[in-house]
């Protein structure tokens, strides 16, 4: 399904379903079924545990709760969708769940979720801090490596289409 990024639906766990640090706003293509919802980051959710959330730039309404922090993977895919005008779907073959960037993004997200929960309580060990810092350094390196490649594609679209 190709659609504009404006058609994306933002959602998050209802309060009390998970600890507050795990309440992250995810994004998905609209669906009218009550089956499991698959977000752009490829996680699946039970609709009974979810609430609609206001997306970026949307006002909070009676139907849409204030959004929690966005899922990093969903947000990156939203950025890509905005640039290309298409919304990623569950069948989008261009996004690999096991790409190095995807794996490091998920690891960073998990470590950041843990840090957000345990660091304010003073229950965050030095080895966990070191693991978080190393993962964020690795993620920054991967993003820097990818940026020139994406800029080259944007500057030379004909070369890309000839491949």
pLDDT tens digits for range 33-89: 678 888 888 888 999 999 999 887 788 899 999 988 888 888 777 777 665 555 555
- For residue 96, the model assigns a pLDDT of 53
- For residue 22, the model assigns a pLDDT of 82
Lowest pLDDT segment from 30-34, 105-109, 130-134: 30-34
Q: Please, are residues 107 and 132 in contact by the beta-carbon 8 Å criterion?
A: no
Contacts of 10 by beta carbon, 8 Å cutoff, 6+ apart: 25, 26, 27, 52, 53, 54, 55, 58, 64, 67
pLDDT tens digits for range 122-157: 888 898 899 889 989 988 888 888 766 555 555 655
pTM greater than 0.85 (yes/no): no
Which residue has better confidence, 123 or 91? 123
Query: 40 burial class (0-12, 13-18, 19+ CB within 10 angstroms)?
Result: buried
């Amino acid at each position: 399904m190709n659609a504009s990024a404006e058609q994306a639906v933002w959602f998050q766990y209802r309060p009390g379903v998970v600890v507050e640090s795990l309440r992250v706003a995810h994004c998905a293509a609209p669906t009218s079924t009550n089956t499991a919802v698959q977000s752009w980051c490829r996680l699946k959710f039970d609709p009974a545990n979810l609430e609609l959330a206001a997306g970026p730039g949307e006002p909070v309404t009676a139907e849409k709760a204030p959004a929690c922090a966005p899922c990093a993977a969903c947000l990156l895919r939203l950025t890509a969708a905005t640039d290309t005008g298409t919304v990623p779907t569950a069948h989008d073959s261009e996004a690999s769940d096991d790409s190095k960037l995807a794996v490091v993004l998920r690891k960073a997200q998990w470590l950041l979720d843990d840090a957000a929960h345990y660091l304010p309580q003073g229950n965050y060990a030095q080895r966990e801090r070191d693991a978080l810092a190393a993962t964020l350094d690795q993620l920054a390196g991967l993003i820097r490596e990818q940026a020139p490649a994406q800029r080259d594609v944007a500057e030379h679209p004909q070369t890309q289409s000839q491949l």
